[in-house]
A and B are shown apart, each in its own frame.
Chain A
Amino acid sequence: NAGVTQTPKFQVLKTGQSMTLQCAQDMNHNSMYWYRQDPGMGLRLIYYSASEGTTDKGEVPNGYNVSRLNKREFSLRLESAAPSQTSVYFCATIWAGGYGYTFGSGTRLTVV
């Protein structure tokens, strides 16, 4: 089935550890996005990639880096995890018409 696949689904890190969240889409879309979702707040954009080879900062990029490996894959890296990065992370791609995201199932990250 076409969609967005995120790995891992759950992760616990100690403060200062690093990790990479993986995202792959098989919808042949150009644009891909990383969001974080925190209780009581709306989704916030971390980084996005309008096309292969380009990335741009969103609303809350500090503490994160991204790589658009190819058209299918867009990874999010935490170089030195902090408790403030405890959140649920969603990867998404957007329809060719420009409206309506398809989201992955999320990665629940806890930093202790």
Chain B
Amino acid sequence: EDQVTQSPEALRLQEGESSSLNCSYTVSGLRGLFWYRQDPGKGPEFLFTLYSAGEEKEKERLKATLTKKESFLHITAPKPEDSATYLCAVQDQDSNYQLIWGAGTKLIIKP
């Protein structure tokens, strides 16, 4: 059964304190892994798509990496505006449409 597990559930950091969020997944074959950011009261906002092990993508203070069983979202020198819930989702190679979503990591950056 396809499954996505994100850890930790919540993470509190001081401004400037770098860290990583984890997304581990189980699929028969990976078509794509997605990272989204969700602010309170809003819909998820697309950040990255990763397709194969070894791939990396960056956007401002965020860098996403992918291995065969997990993905990391690295946050370098975070600012309070980076506070949000970060969601991970995977698409199985046999699925044209459906994504399997993790429950998310709530990130709080204190000034």
Name A residues whose Cβ lies closer than 8 Å to a Cβ of B: 4, 31, 33, 40-45, 48, 50, 58-59, 90, 92, 94, 98-106
Contact = CB atoms under 8 A, between A and B. Distances in A.
Interface stretch (B11-19, B71-79, B94-102): B94-102
19 contacts: A4-B43, A40-B103, A41-B103, A42-B102, A43-B89, A43-B99, A43-B101, A50-B96, A50-B97, A59-B98, A90-B44, A98-B96, A99-B32, A99-B34, A102-B46, A103-B43, A103-B45, A106-B41, A106-B43
Given A40-B103, A43-B101, A92-B43, A100 B34 contact: yes
A42 B34 contact: no
A48 B96 CA distance: 11
Contacts of B100: 42
A103 B44 contact: yes
Given A43-B87, A99-B32, A100-B49, A105 B103 contact: no
Contacts of B34: 99-100
Interface of B: 4, 32, 34, 36, 41-46, 49, 87, 89, 91, 96-104
B98 A45 contact: yes
B62 to A, nearest CB: 15
B42 A105 contact: yes
Contacts of A59: 98
Given A90-B43, A105-B43, A106-B43, A31 B97 contact: yes
Nearest to B45: A103
A41 B87 CA distance: 11
B45 A48 contact: no
A42 B25 CA distance: 13
A50 B97 CA distance: 8
